[in-house]
Structure 1
Amino acid sequence: MALVSEFLGQLTLGFGGKEARFPTVVPAANFDPEKDASWIDTAIKTKGVEEHIIIDILTKRTYAQRREIALEYERKAKKDIITALKGALSGSLENVILGLMRSTVQYDAFELRASMKGLGTDEESLIEIVCSRTNEELLEIKKTYREMFKKELEKDVAGDTSGDFAKLLLALVQAKRDEPSNIVDYEKIDSDARALYEAGVKRKGTDVATWITIFSERSVPHLQKVFERYKSYSPYDMKESIQKEVKGDLEKSFLTLVECFENKQLYFASKLNDAMKGKGVKEKVVNRIVVSRCEVDLLKIRKQFKKQFGKSLFATIVEHTRGDYQRALLNLCGGDD
């Protein structure tokens, strides 16, 4: 069956090695995939479906453990777990649970494909994923995208976007960013800061190509110093300069990059806060961040959320969501702060 080959072919994929992980979902102790698979089978077959059992098992296991459960389920039930879950669940809960049945890199690849498939483009998803992932993550996403969809990510991005926005995304997807160095090159920091100023605020019309090169090729620690140095040339900081010089999706992309370079977890915390403001919840945004970051850095995102907004992510989810969907998100959130 398709799921078996997909899972067996899925290697444990890294996320850059150099970045420490702060997951909220960690391996379950005394893990028994056969027992979990049996419980899920019973929950699905029960009249009315026992969603809470499915939720409490799959949101409290890592992807590696969910993969084992899926294989056991297939062996026992003689059908793949994805098909069974699709038949048993619906709405936002279904989206969260099915998202968890993919590895983090598979999930990113799937979300990128969904953002460009069919009529119209979901630029928000495209910008968030491409602008926030590391070189290593982007290389893995490209490889997985090719395996899952038999398409090249670069070609799909080029076909679905245009102008300078397309050029920036394609430069990022090429994953040519310098690796961090122990040597601080003050001359290059000054040169890049001056180049950003002269390509933007100093002149009439923006030399976007220069901005794209510097933003997509320099290491993150280098760019943090460049943005600090930039203030000695420009009357505006980098974010203010972006807002003055470019508009639309290009502006959003450059701003996302700056925010991620400065504090990636704060960027995600702010996105979650914005998605749960007011009456309606932007469930797609909440799902994407919680599912994609729960085995990466959601613990740090939680801390940033509380620090920045004075209220825990857990309490915010309780306030803005309901029922089984809420239960799933709270389990993935991993606790209150």
Structure 2
Amino acid sequence: MSSVWDDLDLLLESPSSLTVNSTARGTVKEKTGFKPDEDAAELRKAIEGIGTTEKTLIDILCQRSNAQRQLICKAYQDNTGRSLCDDLEGDTHGDFEDILVALITPPAKFDCLEFKRAIKGAGTKESLLIELLASRSNYQIKAMRDAYLAETGRNLIDDLKSEVSGDFEKTLLNLAEGKRDESTNVDVAKAKADAKILYEAGEKKWGTDESKFIDILCHRSVAQLRQTLVEYKSLSGRTLQESIEREMSGCLEDILVAIVKCVKSVPAYLAERLHKSMKGTGTTESTLIRIIVSRSELDLQDIKAEYKKLFGCSLYSTIESETSGDFRKALLKICGEDGK
């Protein structure tokens, strides 16, 4: 069955969210004429009045950049002696509380808290670990590790080791190093050689040599891997993703497929994650919050475009039909209506 993931034609020219560190494709921009003291005072009024004025919370927190929200938190603390986070937690609840708290958390700390959530409690949440480590740039991974150390006093990589095992562990640890080559130069001969190594380690071999897949997919640059995907298809007649799906299973298959998808398009990978979070049985609100908030200043415009291509309807209309109340209003405000 052919899918959007088999189409390699435009791959080599398209930009990648793993390497482009720009806010141009976000839906949330810095507010001009921003006054943190005024916003903090408005929020205080909204929270302290009789009954919280949710509209004010949404209008302010969903339409400022994260850097501006940090300044609002500081002004709020300075003016009231209380933390905005504590007041929001005391005054709102459920998914609406969760999205507001996510909005006022610095991005690296937010990733770190999600990582903590993935490894604590009964059973590790593998799909969350895969998303966090496959879709983040080297810079974001390093920032998440620093935040984790500041938050817990422990090393993220050490804690990861105690939670996972085998080839899945090896792949996660490689990604958590945040050492993917960032060069934009492509060596076609090397791409051909890597494609041949992967072909011989998988399709052509009785039993699969997973270590070759892990090494190449975790370390080569995005540009280099894209060329390798093209060479692999012409060598084997199949896409690398199809080969991984045939040769492997379980968490290792899941993470290697996620890496291949993110090399092609992080926005398309995250659009798929969003779709699954809303279209399965019951909505997975934590996934929805994480992706919408963490990508709102990076590439949410692109995620919306990929969502429409993949699923034939807009992300906006899906959120509208699958969520409700103030939670829905906040998500839609961040998502932005253009091209519903």
Say whether the 8 Å CA contact 2:18–2:135 is kept in structure 1: no
- Deviations along 1:265-300, one digit per CA (max 9) or x if unpaired, are 111112112222256212111111001101111111
Go from structure 1 to structure 2 and tell me whether the alpha carbon gap of 1:224 and 1:16 turns closer, same or farther (over 3 Å shift): closer
- Deviations along 1:41-95, one digit per CA (max 9) or x if unpaired, are 1111122222221121111111111111111111221111111111011111111
Question: Distance between the aligned counterparts of 2:311 and 2:236, measured in 1?
Answer: 30
Partner of 1:257: 259
Question: Distance between the aligned counterparts of 1:145 and 1:174, measured in 2?
Answer: 14
Say whether the 8 Å CA contact 2:109–2:147 is kept in structure 1: yes
Partner of 1:247: 249
Q: Secondary structure at the match of 1:60?
A: coil
**How many Å apart are 1:320 and its aligned residue?**
1.0
**1:110-125 to 2 correspondences below 5 Å:** 110-125=113-128
1:314 aligns with 2:320: no
**How many Å apart are 1:312 and its aligned residue?**
1.5
**1:291-310 to 2 correspondences below 5 Å:** 291-310=293-312
1:173 aligns with 2:176: yes
**How many Å apart are 1:17 and its aligned residue?**
7.3
1:66 to 51, 66, 69: 69
Q: Secondary structure at the match of 1:233?
A: helix
Partner of 2:9: none
Question: Distance between the aligned counterparts of 1:319 and 1:262, measured in 2?
Answer: 29
Unaligned runs of 5+ in 2: 1-16
Higher relative contact order (CA 8 A, sep 6+): 2
Say whether the 8 Å CA contact 1:197–1:234 is kept in structure 2: yes
Q: Which amino acid aligns with 1:130?
A: L
**How many Å apart are 1:131 and its aligned residue?**
0.7
Say whether the 8 Å CA contact 2:18–2:136 is kept in structure 1: no
1:41 aligns with 2:44: yes
Question: Distance between the aligned counterparts of 2:203 and 2:175, measured in 1?
Answer: 23
Question: Distance between the aligned counterparts of 1:212 and 1:223, measured in 2?
Answer: 12
**1:118-157 to 2 correspondences below 5 Å:** 118-157=121-160
- Deviations along 1:210-237, one digit per CA (max 9) or x if unpaired, are 1111001101111111111112332432
Question: Distance between the aligned counterparts of 2:60 and 2:127, measured in 1?
Answer: 31
Question: Distance between the aligned counterparts of 2:19 and 2:147, measured in 1?
Answer: 18
**How many Å apart are 1:246 and its aligned residue?**
1.3
Go from structure 1 to structure 2 and tell me whether the alpha carbon gap of 1:121 and 1:101 turns closer, same or farther (over 3 Å shift): same
Question: Distance between the aligned counterparts of 2:52 and 2:22, measured in 1?
Answer: 38
Indicate the larger mover: 297-306 or 159-168.
Answer: 297-306
**1:256-295 to 2 correspondences below 5 Å:** 256-277=258-279, 280-295=282-297
Go from structure 1 to structure 2 and tell me whether the alpha carbon gap of 1:112 and 1:121 turns closer, same or farther (over 3 Å shift): same
1:27 aligns with 2:30: yes
Partner of 1:202: 204
Tell me the percent identity: 38
Say whether the 8 Å CA contact 1:315–1:336 is kept in structure 2: no
Q: Which amino acid aligns with 2:286?
A: K
Partner of 1:103: 106
Question: Distance between the aligned counterparts of 1:29 and 1:20, measured in 2?
Answer: 18
Q: Which amino acid aligns with 1:234?
A: S
Indicate the larger mover: 60-69 or 231-240.
Answer: 231-240
Question: Distance between the aligned counterparts of 1:195 and 1:279, measured in 2?
Answer: 40
Q: Which amino acid aligns with 1:202?
A: K
Question: Distance between the aligned counterparts of 1:36 and 1:145, measured in 2?
Answer: 30
Indicate the larger mover: 327-336 or 162-171.
Answer: 327-336
**How many Å apart are 1:18 and its aligned residue?**
4.0
Question: Distance between the aligned counterparts of 2:289 and 2:280, measured in 1?
Answer: 17
**How many Å apart are 1:16 and its aligned residue?**
7.7
What's the TM-score, normalizing by structure 2? 0.91
Say whether the 8 Å CA contact 1:44–1:84 is kept in structure 2: yes
Question: Distance between the aligned counterparts of 1:283 and 1:18, measured in 2?
Answer: 28
Q: Secondary structure at the match of 1:160?
A: coil
Q: Secondary structure at the match of 1:281?
A: coil
Say whether the 8 Å CA contact 2:118–2:124 is kept in structure 1: yes
Say whether the 8 Å CA contact 1:224–1:261 is kept in structure 2: yes
Partner of 2:6: none
Q: How many residues align?
A: 322
